[in-house]
């Protein structure tokens, strides 16, 4: 379907729907600097084929959604060695969660099943904490409740701080190499898809600083573990055992914080979603959402 736009939380969000408009609502929330095309269309199709109305969207500050260009580049990125504590971020992850809640309302999807990856997992967590009535189930992938756990290795952390080159080909090459660095060592790296995706992302988003403002939001947002302790919807936490950008302690801490959460650790998976694990992930998410919706549960069991 064509990309559409909706007013949400006082801004505009670009989104795309996949699957039956009358299907079970599933909102996909992407990670740092990633646009909606970061969700592989065939991955989305797997959910659509299982009866879901899938919505993927551009978070604020990337793609065709509202950009906060008036805030420029955070000072800790603009000048090497400057501390982030010297100024305030343009927004927090909580604001991005409110964006997602507004999108669900605008599309008439609430309550929806919510699946977030990396920063998207952080947003999905905050959405569930702040707007629990809009969430049927929560799936948090390769994420963490706090910057104090799951820290990146020095090499991968440094890759996040690299400024995007102004030259198109240089920017694409840098992005591909970063994705290769954080990818799954146990599975094949789909370089051509990544290259095509980052090229398309560059062409539809001229702002080189949006990712930096999102990173500042991550660094300044509060610990979500206390709020996650009050989450009562079914939750699934998925993490790669070989993740070097958000190390597995982040996933374990997320699962420990949410009462009754399931934890799925995938050997050989890094900070991406290799095609070879899609089937396992989709099956676990479908099982989670079935439980949330009472599908396959007897009246006595659900009472």
3-state secondary structure the chain: CCCEEEEECCEEEEEEEEECCCCEEEEEECCCCCCHHHCCHHHHHHHHCCCEEEEEECCCCCCCCCCCHHHCCCHHHHCCCCCHHHCCCCCCHHHHHHHHHHHHHHCCCCCEEEEEECHHHHHHHHHHHHCHHHEEEEEEECCCCCCCCCCCCHHHHHHHCCCCCCCHHHHHHHHHHHHHHHCCCCCCCCHHHHHHHHHHHHHHCCCCCHHHHHHHHHHHCCCCHHHHCCCCCCEEEEEECCCCCCCCHHHHHHHHHCCCCEEEEECCCCCCCCHHHHHHHHHHHHHHHHHHHCCCCCHHHHC
pLDDT at 1: 63
pLDDT at 85: 39
Task: Over range 62-72, report the average pLDDT.
Answer: 95
Span 265-289, pLDDT tens digits: 999 999 999 999 999 999 999 999 9
Does residue 298 register a pLDDT over 80? no
* Percent of the chain whose pLDDT exceeds 90: 86
Q: How confident is the model at residue 163 (pLDDT cuts 50, 70, 90)?
A: confident
Does residue 82 register a pLDDT over 50? no
Peptide bond into 111 cis (omega under 30): yes
Least trusted range by pLDDT, from 9-23, 70-84, 107-121, 229-243:
70-84
pLDDT at 297: 57
Residue in 171, 169, 173, 174 with CA at minimum distance from that of residue 158: 174
Least trusted range by pLDDT, from 154-163, 224-233, 255-264:
154-163
Domains and CATH numbers, the chain: 4-292 (3.40.50.1820)
Task: Over range 189-207, report the average pLDDT.
Answer: 94
Does residue 46 register a pLDDT over 70? yes
Task: Over range 212-233, report the average pLDDT.
Answer: 96
Name the average pLDDT for the chain.
93
Q: How confident is the model at residue 87 (pLDDT cuts 50, 70, 90)?
A: confident
Q: How confident is the model at residue 80 (pLDDT cuts 50, 70, 90)?
A: very low
Residue in 107, 87, 86, 92 with CA at minimum distance from that of residue 27: 107
């Amino acid at each position: 379907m064509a990309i559409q736009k909706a007013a949400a939380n006082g801004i505009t969000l670009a989104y795309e729907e996949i699957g039956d408009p009358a299907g079970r609502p599933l909102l996909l929330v992407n990670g740092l600097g990633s646009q909606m095309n970061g969700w592989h269309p065939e991955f989305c199709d797997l959910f659509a084929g299982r009866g879901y109305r899938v919505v993927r969207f551009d978070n604020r500050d990337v793609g065709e959604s509202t950009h906060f260009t008036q805030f420029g580049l955070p000072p800790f990125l603009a000048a090497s060695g400057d501390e982030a504590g010297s100024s305030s971020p343009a927004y927090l992850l909580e604001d991005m969660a409110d964006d997602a809640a507004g999108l669900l309302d605008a599309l008439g999807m609430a309550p929806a099943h919510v699946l977030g990856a990396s920063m998207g997992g952080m947003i999905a967590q905050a959405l569930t904490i702040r707007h629990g009535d809009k969430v049927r189930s929560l799936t948090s992938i390769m994420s963490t409740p706090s910057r104090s756990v799951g820290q990146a290795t020095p090499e991968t952390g440094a890759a996040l701080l690299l400024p995007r080159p102004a030259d198109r080909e240089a920017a694409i090459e840098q992005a591909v190499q970063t994705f290769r660095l954080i990818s799954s060592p146990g599975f094949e790296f789909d370089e051509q898809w990544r290259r095509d995706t980052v090229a398309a992302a560059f062409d539809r988003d001229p702002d080189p600083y949006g990712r930096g403002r999102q990173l500042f939001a991550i660094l300044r947002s509060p610990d979500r573990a206390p709020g996650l302790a009050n989450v009562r919807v079914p939750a699934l936490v998925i993490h790669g055992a070989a993740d070097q950008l958000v190390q597995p302690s982040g996933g374990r801490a997320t699962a420990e914080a949410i009462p009754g959460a399931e934890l799925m650790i995938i050997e050989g998976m890094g900070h991406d979603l290799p095609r070879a694990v899609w089937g396992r992930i989709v099956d676990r998410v479908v099982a989670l959402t079935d439980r949330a919706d009472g599908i396959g549960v007897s009246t006595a069991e659900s009472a």
